[in-house]
Amino acid sequence: TGRTAVLLESVSFTLSSFCCEPFSCCDVMEFYCPPCETAMCKECTSGEHVEHPTVPLKDVVEQHKASLQAQLDAVKSRLPEIDLALQVLSEILQQLTNQKSSIEEDIHSTFDELQKTLNVRKSVLLMELEVNYGLKQKVLQAQLDTLLEGQESINSSCSFTEQALSHGSETEVLLVRKQMGERLSELASQEYPLHPQENDQLDMHIETEGLKKSIHNLGTIVTTNAVAYETVASGEGLRQCVVGHPTSITITTKDKDGELCKTGNASLTAEIFTPDGSVADGEILDNKNGTYEYLYTVPKEGNFVLSLRLYDQHIKGSPFKVKGTKSADISPSADSAKKRLKSPGSGHVKQKAIKRPASMYSSGKRKENPIEDDLIFRVGTKGRNKGEFTNLQGVAANSLGKILIADSNNQCVQIFSNDGQFKSRFGVRGRSPGQLQRPTGVAVHPSGDIIIADYDNKWVSIFSSDGKFKTKIGSGKLMGPKGVSVDRNGHIIVVDNKACCVFIFQPNGKIVTKFGSRGNGDKQFAGPHFAAVNHNNEIIITDFHNHSVKVFSAEGEFVLKFGSNGEGNGQFNAPTGVAVDSNGNIIVADWGNSRIQVFDGSGSFLSYINTSADPLYGPQGLALTSDGHVVVADSGNHCFKVYRYLQ
């Protein structure tokens, strides 16, 4: 074949370039001398090459062919990885371009708005100047007119009298004497407004230095050169952790040359799971110097996989294998962990429960509960298809009999009917407006719009009820929005988990107010997760790391708080989802205790929802459906559950 010919040609080309030239006598080259790397005829094997081991040329060619083929295959096998890299690269390039144009738009609209504000202020000042000038000018002008009038009367009376005095006859003087005498004495005693009735002050105080300075520094382009394949993580938490205890890991971002990136704000995500799909909870703290802390807590013993991704790519060594164990020492939480095996309080809640065969739930369809607790049914398994979930977080319910689920690692929102039938889903993964990166919170606006908190995109997206993107709000303001809710004025309440504060927005994105900061004080949060609004328009926030629930007025004034760390009635081990029923009772998902508690409006413990038969595993979002059931995201089990709820 042609290929063999080429191979042979290349072989003979190689051969001819070595020391032992084939003799001209050789016409049928059948042998090969490896030391000389040359082909030759039969005669030559006993001549020039008699000392050399020779082999049939055919074998050598076969050997060369095989080795070249192997090399060919090895080279070809590199194509898929290059294809993949190209694909990733072009995605990054596309995202980068999208980001650029989106920021460009932001810059234009921000500065247009500023320009507008400036122009309005300019008009106001010009108008104020006009008004003040007008008022003063009127007073002064009136005074001027009066004085001029007086001056004119004096002039004319004087000149008339003088005329008479100098040119008039005696009879004329006598004639005007009486008349002019009276007039002159009147003028002499006339009061004139001699003191200025206004002043000339019209100044402007305008301090522009500070403003100019602010404008000079207005806005920053935030970026790093950090790349995943050079970025490293360190800490014992990469290998092991203690159940219920926060464990810390340090991540050091580096650029392509392995140099430390000295600025923060890199997009890091962490995910912890087990083969059966359980998740832990944690948060990433930006040290602002290129290093980051990841603090996480696992709710159960077992082997976990920890994925650390920078800009969607695994960092060096990720995923890590982490072993979660109960601590041996007698710390308060180890103590309570033992207690937990018994039932706290009223005697139920977190039993080890009857383990049902996994196959029972494997279809991703609605499953009835064959064992008597409050569970009506559950929907979903781990997966990426319709009705399947990967780390579902927020849930919402609308008045039209729908349940909405924020499926955070599938980058979508899935919609079900109240009875658990899959209806639709929407969401495309990405970092451009209209795309989702990590939807953790979902709420329904009275207008029907669907509001989604996107933790990793650091904004809140608003979609129409049929899943069409409308707008995004909070961009550049939010650091890590987790939960969303809507108050009675139609304002959007956003829990910024990372910034430890709560934002209230108008639907157009204007900030109404903002409250809270990091800490353990009343008006502070140690790890706020979800929000609900009661019929007094008060805002209820779960504080995961403070193990409490805090209630604020619509204006953000602290009203009350309840809960402490523990497993007794009314205690929490990291509260997450929250909802309010029509009587103002507060329903709270207790993540670490894997239970749901009910409180009255003042925070007194009322009861549990009985979840004992099919235990929850790290419940997240929680809502009340339009038919009065409680729906909860059972994150660790990658399903949502609907419970009976007696109000």
Ligand X SMILES: *[C@@H]1O[C@H](CO)[C@@H](O)[C@H](O)[C@H]1NC(C)=O
542 binds ligand X (CB under 6 A): no
> Of the two residues 235 and 521, which places its CB atom closer to ligand X in the complex?
521
CB of 122 to ligand X, least distance (A): 30
Record the tokens describing residue 441, joined without a space. 């919170």
Q: Give the integer Cα–Cα distance in Å for 500 and 502.
A: 7
**Which helix (DSSP H) or strand (DSSP E) does residue 451 occupy?**
strand 450-454
Using the rule CB under 6 A, give the single segment among 209-217, 232-240, 423-431, 520-528 that binds ligand X: 520-528
Contacts 24+ apart (CB under 8 A), 326-333: 326/242, 326/243, 326/301, 327/242, 327/243, 327/245, 331/245, 333/244, 333/245
Site string for ligand X, 105-144 (x = CB under 6 A): ----------------------------------------
Angle at 337 between CA 336 and CA 343, to 5 degrees: 80
> Of the two residues 94 and 155, which places its CB atom closer to ligand X in the complex?
155
CB of 547 to ligand X, least distance (A): 5
3-state per-residue secondary structure call for 379-446:
ECCECCCCCCECCEEEEEECCCCEEEEEEHHHCEEEEEECCCCEEEEECCECCCCCCECCEEEEEECC
Q: Give the integer Cα–Cα distance in Å for 647 and 631.
A: 14
> Of the two residues 101 and 155, which places its CB atom closer to ligand X in the complex?
155
Q: Which residues are bridge partners to 137 per DSSP?
A: none
> Of the two residues 471 and 565, which places its CB atom closer to ligand X in the complex?
565
Using the rule CB under 6 A, give the single segment among 64-72, 344-352, 378-386, 436-444 that binds ligand X: 344-352
> Of the two residues 348 and 356, which places its CB atom closer to ligand X in the complex?
348
Cα 366 → chain centroid: 31
Q: Give the integer Cα–Cα distance in Å for 10 and 261.
A: 50
CB of 221 to ligand X, least distance (A): 10
Site string for ligand X, 218-257 (x = CB under 6 A): ----x-----------------------------------
Q: Give the integer Cα–Cα distance in Å for 418 and 437.
A: 27
**Phi–psi pair at 356, nearest 5 degrees:** -95, 150
> Of the two residues 210 and 347, which places its CB atom closer to ligand X in the complex?
347
- Quick one: which of 611, 639, 635, 621 has its CA closest to 280? 635
| Pair 106, 475: CB distance under 8 Å | yes
> Of the two residues 102 and 626, which places its CB atom closer to ligand X in the complex?
102
Burial of 479 (0-12, 13-18, 19+ CB in 10 A): middle
Among 372, 508, 646, 647, binds ligand X (CB under 6 A): 372
CB of 69 to ligand X, least distance (A): 51
Among 264, 324, 566, 619, binds ligand X (CB under 6 A): 264
Using the rule CB under 6 A, give the single segment among 91-99, 341-349, 413-421, 636-644 that binds ligand X: 341-349
> Of the two residues 291 and 432, which places its CB atom closer to ligand X in the complex?
291
Using the rule CB under 6 A, give the single segment among 116-124, 188-196, 422-430, 542-550 that binds ligand X: 542-550
263 binds ligand X (CB under 6 A): yes
- Quick one: which of 510, 498, 601, 504 has its CA closest to 549? 601
> Of the two residues 382 and 458, which places its CB atom closer to ligand X in the complex?
458
Q: Give the integer Cα–Cα distance in Å for 636 and 274.
A: 9
Task: Identify the three-state secondary structure at position 272.
Answer: strand
Record the tokens describing residue 538, joined without a space. 């008060």
> Of the two residues 45 and 297, which places its CB atom closer to ligand X in the complex?
297
Amino acid at 616: L
CB of 193 to ligand X, least distance (A): 16
Among 131, 371, 511, 606, binds ligand X (CB under 6 A): 371
CB of 286 to ligand X, least distance (A): 7
Residues 406-465 that bind ligand X (CB under 6 A): none
CB of 581 to ligand X, least distance (A): 19
> Of the two residues 446 and 521, which places its CB atom closer to ligand X in the complex?
521
| Pair 460, 481: CB distance under 8 Å | yes
Among 612, 625, 635, 637, binds ligand X (CB under 6 A): 612
Size of the site for ligand X (CB under 6 A): 28
CB of 514 to ligand X, least distance (A): 15
| Pair 350, 595: CB distance under 8 Å | yes
- Quick one: which of 300, 321, 317 has its CA closest to 309? 317
Half-sphere exposure of 560 (CA within 13 A, CB side): 9
Among 12, 95, 536, 565, binds ligand X (CB under 6 A): 565
Using the rule CB under 6 A, give the single segment among 388-396, 461-469, 608-616, 617-625 that binds ligand X: 608-616
- Quick one: which of 385, 391, 417 has its CA closest to 406? 391
Among 9, 59, 113, 152, binds ligand X (CB under 6 A): 152
520 binds ligand X (CB under 6 A): yes
Using the rule CB under 6 A, give the single segment among 34-42, 288-296, 400-408, 410-418 that binds ligand X: 288-296
Half-sphere exposure of 318 (CA within 13 A, CB side): 25
- Quick one: which of 432, 429, 433, 470 has its CA closest to 451? 470
> Cis link prior to 246 (omega < 30° from 0)?
no
CB of 454 to ligand X, least distance (A): 15
155 binds ligand X (CB under 6 A): yes
CB of 66 to ligand X, least distance (A): 53
> Of the two residues 161 and 612, which places its CB atom closer to ligand X in the complex?
612
Q: Give the integer Cα–Cα distance in Å for 393 and 638.
A: 9
Among 179, 303, 346, 464, binds ligand X (CB under 6 A): 346
> Of the two residues 222 and 428, which places its CB atom closer to ligand X in the complex?
222
> Of the two residues 77 and 220, which places its CB atom closer to ligand X in the complex?
220
CB of 64 to ligand X, least distance (A): 55
Among 14, 287, 362, 363, binds ligand X (CB under 6 A): 287
Please give the full DSSP string across 304-352, using - where no structure is assigned: EEEEEEETTEE-TTPSEEEEEE--SS--HHHHHHHHHHSPPTTT-S---
* Paired sense of beta strands 450-454 and 459-463, if any: antiparallel
> Of the two residues 136 and 316, which places its CB atom closer to ligand X in the complex?
316
Using the rule CB under 6 A, give the single segment among 89-97, 138-146, 260-268, 576-584 that binds ligand X: 260-268
Which residues are at the interface with ligand X (CB under 6 A)?
Answer: 151-152, 155, 222, 263-265, 287-289, 291, 346-348, 371-373, 520-522, 526, 546-548, 565, 610, 612-613
